[in-house]
């Protein structure tokens, strides 16, 4: 009969650490940290420990190079403190990381093939990344081909884009890095802001601290040239119409691009999908040729209800929350998940900001948005109306395509009715207001028979209650073809 016995790992770690700290006993190899001709530090080590902890030293000792026979190696590319920390780790398995020493330890670990440290220091740096150091980390990770760390740096910049681009560190980015950032679909900023920050970056690179209208033609040409490779990645399709009409920097855009943008904004309607299809066809060849993204939204809405870019744009404008659209997710589809209120609540309850898009069987498109969502913990009682109510000052209803042939419109919450913005009904689907917009339990039919109670009806529509109830569809009760529900991922 036999049994296995394992030493206490903490004691083993301490014993090996003491072996390193003894320095002059039982060692058989020196690592010399040479700072200059007159200053160096010698660390007494053991070949067996070094070779077991680093592929580099393992290969060095196996090859029996001159360092093997001389019993020493001189390192000139590492500080005394960094080398001491790594050798302590070799012996004890313990390492105290700070953001200041982690970068140096990572660089050493890559060069000397210490895989375990590469992973742990990379993870530490990612978790402790900040605006002040992200550019340095990005440059190091790219020079060392640390792809995961590079991706994490780009993700950090994208999610903190506004704050980062207002700092001086933004100007340290190189053009190829800027190109990667603005090619991403995950920037948490409005497109107009992204474009303005690019202009500021170009002005800094060319050392021209002037406003555009104060520049001479030569200075404008320099800025234009500096941005020439970046313009095709700006999603001009995501500009708000009113922002574009007020935009003062159009003269910096190459003519062949600005002409097409003007054409789009002057004739592209919000509700003409046929034009949208022909528009894409016209520019597809040029976009592919130039790898251009100017007419491709930064966020792929992936709606099965509509493909019209204009609808996506106006929803984004109404919600006015770049973070929401940065990681918007189609969480529920009645066609995919089933026409069931049970499924709706199972998937959508407690998700926070929620966008509901409905298509009726007669082809009309409408819905609602809530910044709170259907959350049991937020239910409140009303002093007058029975029911489980959820307060939301930012909720609204909307119509994208309607029987009145009106352009898309928004119905904000009625002042004083914020407490009745949503109703939590386990046996119903999405429920806005006091039946302003409600979906039956089977999710195949709905109604707007009390429209105007909790949400404001646009003044241009008839005041007749009967007519008001038909602004979403041909009747105040309608059959549903599809419901799509989006929330923040």
448 and 357 fall within a common domain:
yes
Higher pLDDT, 48 or 166: 166
CA distance 28 to 13: 20
Q: Count Cα neighbours of 468 within 13 Å in the Cβ-side half-sphere.
A: 18
Residues 441-465 have a mean pLDDT of: 81
Range of the domain at 25: 9-128
Confidence of residue 275 (pLDDT cuts 50, 70, 90): very low
**Residue 28 · residue 71 · CB < 8 Å:** yes
354 closest CA partner among 364, 368, 342? 368
Higher pLDDT, 32 or 284: 32
59 and 106 fall within a common domain:
yes
From 128, 158, 192, the end of a domain falls on 128
Whose tokens are 């489980």? That residue is 388
3-state secondary structure of 224: helix
84 and 231 fall within a common domain:
no
Mean pLDDT rounded to a whole number for the chain:
80
288 and 218 fall within a common domain:
yes
243 and 373 fall within a common domain:
no
With a pLDDT cut of 90, the percent of the chain lying above it is 30
387 and 483 fall within a common domain:
yes
Q: b/e map of 338-355 (b: 16 or more CB within 10 Å)?
A: ebebebbbeebeebebbb
Q: What is the DSSP string of 51-65?
A: HHH-HHHHHHHHHT-
From 128, 159, 191, the end of a domain falls on 128
Residues 85-92 have a mean pLDDT of: 84
pLDDT of residue 488: 79
Residue 134 has pLDDT above 60, yes or no: yes
336 and 277 fall within a common domain:
no
pLDDT of residue 373: 93
Confidence of residue 282 (pLDDT cuts 50, 70, 90): very low
3-state secondary structure of 409: strand
467 and 337 fall within a common domain:
yes
Is 168 a domain residue? no
402 closest CA partner among 460, 324, 339? 460
Q: Which pTM was predicted? A: 0.66
Residue 55 has pLDDT above 60, yes or no: yes
436 and 287 fall within a common domain:
no
Is 18 a domain residue? yes
The residue count for the chain: 489
Is 46 a domain residue? yes
Per-residue pLDDT reduced to its tens digit, 95-122:
888 888 899 999 989 988 888 889 999 9
From 278, 298, 318, the end of a domain falls on 298
Residue 5 has pLDDT above 50, yes or no: no
CB atoms within 10 A of CB 464: 9
Residue 212, both tokens: 């555009």
pLDDT of residue 188: 75
288 and 238 fall within a common domain:
yes
Nearest 5°: the CA angle 101, 107, 111 is 145
Nearest 5°: the CA angle 272, 278, 282 is 140
Residues 302-321 have a mean pLDDT of: 79
246 and 350 fall within a common domain:
no
Per-residue pLDDT reduced to its tens digit, 250-263:
677 766 667 766 66
Confidence of residue 273 (pLDDT cuts 50, 70, 90): very low
CA distance 98 to 121: 10
Residue 158 has pLDDT above 90, yes or no: no
Higher pLDDT, 237 or 340: 340
Residue 428 has pLDDT above 70, yes or no: yes
Most confident range, picked from 2-6, 51-55, 372-376, 465-469: 372-376
421 and 448 fall within a common domain:
yes
Residue 430 has pLDDT above 80, yes or no: yes
223 closest CA partner among 246, 195, 247? 195
Residues 397-406 have a mean pLDDT of: 87
CA distance 208 to 224: 12
Count of structural domains, the chain? 3
With a pLDDT cut of 70, the percent of the chain lying above it is 75
Per-residue pLDDT reduced to its tens digit, 159-214:
888 889 889 999 999 999 999 999 888 787 778 888 888 989 999 999 988 887 78
Residues 333-359 have a mean pLDDT of: 94
CATH code for position 57: 3.30.710.10
Confidence of residue 307 (pLDDT cuts 50, 70, 90): low
Whose tokens are 């440059």? That residue is 139
Is 16 a domain residue? yes
pLDDT of residue 13: 56
């Amino acid at each position: 009969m036999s049994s296995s016995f394992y030493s206490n790992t903490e004691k083993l770690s301490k014993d090996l650490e003491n072996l390193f700290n003894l320095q002059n006993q039982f060692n058989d190899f020196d690592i010399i940290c040479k700072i200059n001709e007159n200053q160096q530090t010698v660390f007494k080590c053991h070949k067996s420990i070094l070779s077991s902890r680093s592929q580099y030293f393992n290969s060095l000792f196996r090859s029996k190079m001159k360092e093997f026979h001389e019993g020493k190696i001189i390192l000139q590319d590492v500080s005394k403190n960094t080398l001491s920390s790594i050798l302590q780790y070799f012996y004890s398995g313990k390492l105290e990381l700070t953001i200041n020493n982690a970068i140096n330890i990572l660089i050493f670990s890559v060069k000397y093939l210490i895989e375990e440290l590469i992973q742990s220091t990379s993870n530490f740096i990612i978790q402790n990344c900040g605006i002040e150091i992200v550019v340095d980390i990005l440059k190091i990770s790219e020079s060392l081909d640390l792809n995961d760390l590079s991706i994490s740096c780009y993700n950090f910049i994208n999610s903190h884009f506004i704050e980062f681009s207002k700092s001086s560190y933004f100007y340290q980015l190189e053009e190829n890095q800027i190109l990667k950032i603005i090619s991403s679909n995950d920037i948490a900023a409005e497109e107009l802001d992204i474009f303005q920050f690019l202009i500021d970056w170009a002005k800094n690179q060319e050392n021209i601290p002037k406003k555009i209208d104060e520049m001479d033609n030569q200075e404008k040409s320099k800025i234009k040239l500096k941005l020439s490779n970046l313009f095709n990645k700006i999603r001009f399709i995501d500009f708000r119409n009113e922002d574009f009409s007020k935009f003062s920097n159009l003269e910096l855009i190459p003519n062949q691009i600005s002409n097409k943008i003007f054409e789009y904004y002057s004739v592209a309607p919000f509700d003409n999908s046929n034009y949208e299809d022909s528009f894409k066809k016209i520019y597809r060849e040029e976009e592919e040729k130039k790898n251009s993204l100017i007419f491709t939204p930064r966020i792929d809405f992936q709606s099965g209800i509509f493909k019209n870019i204009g609808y996506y744009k106006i929803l984004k404008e109404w919600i006015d929350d770049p973070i929401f659209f940065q990681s918007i997710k189609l969480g529920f589809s009645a066609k995919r998940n089933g026409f069931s209120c049970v499924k709706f609540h199972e998937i959508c309850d407690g998700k926070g900001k929620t966008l509901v898009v409905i298509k009726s069987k007669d082809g009309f498109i409408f819905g609602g948005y809530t910044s709170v969502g259907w959350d049991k913990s937020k239910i409140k009682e009303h002093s007058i109306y029975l029911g489980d109510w959820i307060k939301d000052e930012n909720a609204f209803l909307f119509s994208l395509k309607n029987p009145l042939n009106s352009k898309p419109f928004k119905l904000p919450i009625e002042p004083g009715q914020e407490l009745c913005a949503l109703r939590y009904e386990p046996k119903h689907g999405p429920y806005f207001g006091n039946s302003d917009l409600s979906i039956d339990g089977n999710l195949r039919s709905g109604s707007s028979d009390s429209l105007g109670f909790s949400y404001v009806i646009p003044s241009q529509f008839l005041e007749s209650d009967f007519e008001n109830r038909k602004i979403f569809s041909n009747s105040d009760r309608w059959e549903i073809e599809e419901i799509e529900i989006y929330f923040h991922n």
